[in-house]
Structure 1
Amino acid sequence: MAFDLLESVKSIFDSNVISQASSQLGESEGGIQKALSGIIPTVLTGLLNKAGSSGEAGGLLNMVKGVADNANPAAVTGAIQSGSGGLISKGSELLHNLFGDKVNSIIGMLSSFAGIKESSANTLLQSATPATLGTVGQYATQNNLNPSTFLSFLNTQKDNILNAVPGGLNLAGILGLGSLGELGKKMGNLVSGVGHSATSAVNSGINTAKQGGSKWIWSLLLILVAIVLLWYLMRGCGGSKNAAPVMDSVTTSQLVDSATTPVVTTPPARESIQVTLPDGTVLNAYKGGIEDQLVGFLKDDSKKPGNDIWFDFDNLTFKTGSAEITEESMVQVNNIAAILKSFPKAKIKIGGYTDKTGDEAANMKLSKERAVSVEEALKKANTNPAQLLGAEGYGSKFAKAAANAPEEERKMDRHISVSVREK
């Protein structure tokens, strides 16, 4: 019997999982079941969309294999009961990998579809995602799939997955597609293209061998071995397409000299937390991050707003040399928009800052452009314009580290911040 990915995933979410989720989240079992009927095909559709558009099947294959151990009912119920950290954080990471800044829209869509709270939809989605993708990972591991056969496997499952997306979910719209059928065609064309390229290469080699006699067979084999060895060495030396692209941070001054190569360091591990807002919205954030600090400040009546009260974005990046916010950074921008919505009396000003290196006029200009970019992004996230008191670029005016100071010191001066002026 052919493997049915969708049914295998559904089998994880048995009556015990639904009962536990219902009890823990304070929702009806019918609401939980309906939410899961949307969550499972949504997550798998996200995987299809990413595989069909990113060109990084190898990275996705490693991702699903990494959560293969989570494809079981106990992992799901444990995540729902813990409510934060652990598998919940992993689920959040996976979702942002698949959907980027569209995660909040998907949560809202699932909440409306199933008739459950957004906080419940959020927890359920984060808990279910590792198990859903882990089922793919289990199959890939057991069948020793490589990137090419992984894409072929997804292509065999795409019709079942896309047909399972409930009519009440506008998933195509959120993904920027005219219809989910476009995604199915994209996957089919991608797999056909891979197969055609491989077949052409093999046929070309065979024809060459036929024309030149047996000695060409050995030459062909030697060439193929050399190609495989070169590919392996390139992957080992960091030449893999799956390597994460280096994005420019909020740094502005380093961008003046395009020949300068930024130093990339590995930051220490951060503790993921969930920040609950007064309106019940639950945000995924980091302990001590801007969401954590800002909400704590706004809730504390003893702390007064003012020109000297600033909070730094800690997960905000821009595309190199520009004021265009990267897609992954929109998660934090949307979190700030949610906070302002939950605290309607709060008013903020946005500031951009640089270190002391580079041309000050250029730094001042770019820091202003980036601060304005964040303000505009907040407006697009349906923030009440009356809560935004403008954006200003300060260049290196408030930088503390000298221009010749070590990078670790200077990077502290490069940031985008918000100042709470009213609460």
Structure 2
Amino acid sequence: MAFDLVDTLKNLFSNDFTRNAATQLGESEGNVQKALGGIIPAVLTGLLNKAGSSPDAGGLIGLVKEAASSFSGIGNLAAGLPSGLLARGGDILRSLFGNKSADISQAIASYSGIKQQSAESLLQTAAPASLAVVGQHASNPQDLLSLLNSQKDRILAAVPSGLGLASLLGVGNLSDIGNKLSGLVSGIGSSVKNTANSVGHEVRQASGNRWLWTLIAVIAIILLLWWMLRGCGARETTTVVETDSIAMNEDSAVTAVMPPPAAPRESIKVTLPDGTVLDAYKGGIEDKLVAFLSDPNSQGGKDVWFDFDNLNFKTGSAQLTDESMVQVRNIKAILNAFPKTKVKVGGYTDAVGDPKANMKLSQDRANAVLVALQAENVKPVQLLGAEGYGAQFAKAPADAPDEERRADRRISLGVREK
């Protein structure tokens, strides 16, 4: 029986997964099953679209291998939503759909009758799982393109008509995605064939072993240069991030959103109404946030923000460091102790760098913190989303000393209701 990628993934998300995920999300099993019926082909269609729109299949195989690495060790999905996949799943969705990720989750929610946040959690689980299965059948760029080309008709046919995916991806018809991929694969095949014929002709025309080896050496150099140039192209998006205003130190393995002050900070204990005791810093977000929430006269609102003070990302990325999870879990404990509180995550940069790159990175980092809170099982009703503001609210000019611009580079928690 021929391999069917869509059916393989549907079998991966078993009835046990559906039942447990529905319980965790507070949704009906039927609606979760319906959502998965749209999510699986939608994620695969995003991969088809990415493959057909970019000549960098090497970059895609890297994404697939990273997904496989994230998925390894999970075992099976019978227990429901594995928190370890959620953050990585968000990164994969942004790689596949760019700034359309939120629109995709909204479309899934509308189609299946579940909450958007539930749709996001299911998408963030399905994305690495789907790419991991793809990775089991494709170990190099050529295999990946061949596999996707062979599965494209089945994938596109499985997309529910009511999802509106073509419009979200900016194409007239989903078949356009399949045609583009087929054209790319055919073009690569023709190019390889023509190159082989050309090489064969040149070899036949060459006289003696000296010409043969010279020709082989020239071909090897051309191929090497092609791979090197393609690698540079794959790094261009990283370069945009590395030169943005948050990632200032390229020699550091970690970029602090709020660099710690030079003076030693005073450690304190913050006691919550439910008796939980947190390790924190005097004047830090836990200290200020708990004092605010405990004050009966204080009120939430759009202008009420508290800056994270112990939150770090890996250089030029939206990936939180392991150490940052201490403060994320502290915020979770605070929200559990104040169940009426509703918050929003905001990301900010200083005025240095490309505004579009700053805006994107601030959004990605705000999303990463939101996903981390979701993975810690903060009640969905308490999380009102994430938004990146770039340098819109930067106070220091771009030519100001770095110490003046530090306060503009931050991740904040906005208290909308308490």
Same fold, TM-score > 0.5, yes or no: yes
Q: Is the 8 A contact 2:31 2:112 kept in 1?
A: yes
- Aligned match of 1:76: 77
- Aligned match of 1:385: none
* Aligned-partner SS, 1:168: helix
Shift of 1:334: 8.3
1:53 paired to 2:46: no
Q: Is the 8 A contact 2:4 2:151 kept in 1?
A: yes
- Aligned match of 2:201: 207
Output aligned runs, 1:26-41, within 5 Å: 26-41=26-41
1:132 paired to 2:130: yes
- Aligned match of 2:397: 395
Distance 2:26 2:48 in 1: 32
Q: Alpha-carbon deviations, 1:327-385, whole Å to 9, x = none?
A: 4544568899xxxxx99xxxxxx998xxxxxxxxxxxxxxxxx52xxxxxxxxxxxxxx
Q: 2:254 aligns with which of 268, 275, 298?
A: 268
Shift of 1:102: 1.5
Change (3 A) 1:309 1:66: closer
Change (3 A) 1:393 1:72: closer
Q: Is the 8 A contact 2:16 2:79 kept in 1?
A: no
Of stretches 155-164 and 299-308 in structure 1, the one that deviates more from structure 2 is: 299-308
* Aligned-partner SS, 1:246: helix
Which residue identity lines up with residue 10 of structure 1 in the other structure? Answer: K
- Aligned match of 1:221: 216
Shift of 1:214: 4.9
Q: Is the 8 A contact 1:101 1:328 kept in 2?
A: no
Give TM-score scaled by structure 2 length: 0.65
* Aligned-partner SS, 1:66: helix
1:157 paired to 2:155: no
Change (3 A) 1:72 1:160: farther
* Aligned-partner SS, 1:16: helix
Distance 2:351 2:46 in 1: 24
Unmatched segments (≥5 aa) in structure 2: 258-280, 309-345, 370-380, 383-387
Give TM-score scaled by structure 1 length: 0.64
Distance 1:32 1:421 in 2: 30
Change (3 A) 1:332 1:146: closer
Unmatched segments (≥5 aa) in structure 1: 255-261, 272-287, 337-341, 344-349, 353-369, 372-390
1:245 paired to 2:238: yes
Change (3 A) 1:319 1:125: farther
Change (3 A) 1:56 1:323: closer
Q: Alpha-carbon deviations, 1:291-315, whole Å to 9, x = none?
A: x99x968983635689996758546
Number of corresponding residues:
332
CA RMSD across the alignment: 4.5
- Aligned match of 1:98: 96
Output aligned runs, 1:10-409, within 5 Å: 10-68=10-68, 70=71, 74-78=75-79, 80=81, 84=83, 86-140=84-138, 145-215=139-209, 216-228=211-223, 234=228, 239-243=231-235, 244-247=237-240, 251=245, 264-268=250-254, 300=293, 302=295, 311=307, 314=347, 320-322=353-355, 327=360, 329-331=362-364, 370-371=391-392, 394-395=396-397, 403=401, 409=403
Percent pairwise identity: 35
Distance 2:198 2:290 in 1: 68
Which residue identity lines up with residue 22 of structure 1 in the other structure? Answer: A
Q: Alpha-carbon deviations, 1:91-123, whole Å to 9, x = none?
A: 112112212222111111111111112222222
* Aligned-partner SS, 1:63: helix
Q: Is the 8 A contact 2:351 2:398 kept in 1?
A: no
Shift of 1:25: 2.2
Q: Is the 8 A contact 1:67 1:133 kept in 2?
A: yes
Shift of 1:138: 1.1
Shift of 1:134: 0.7
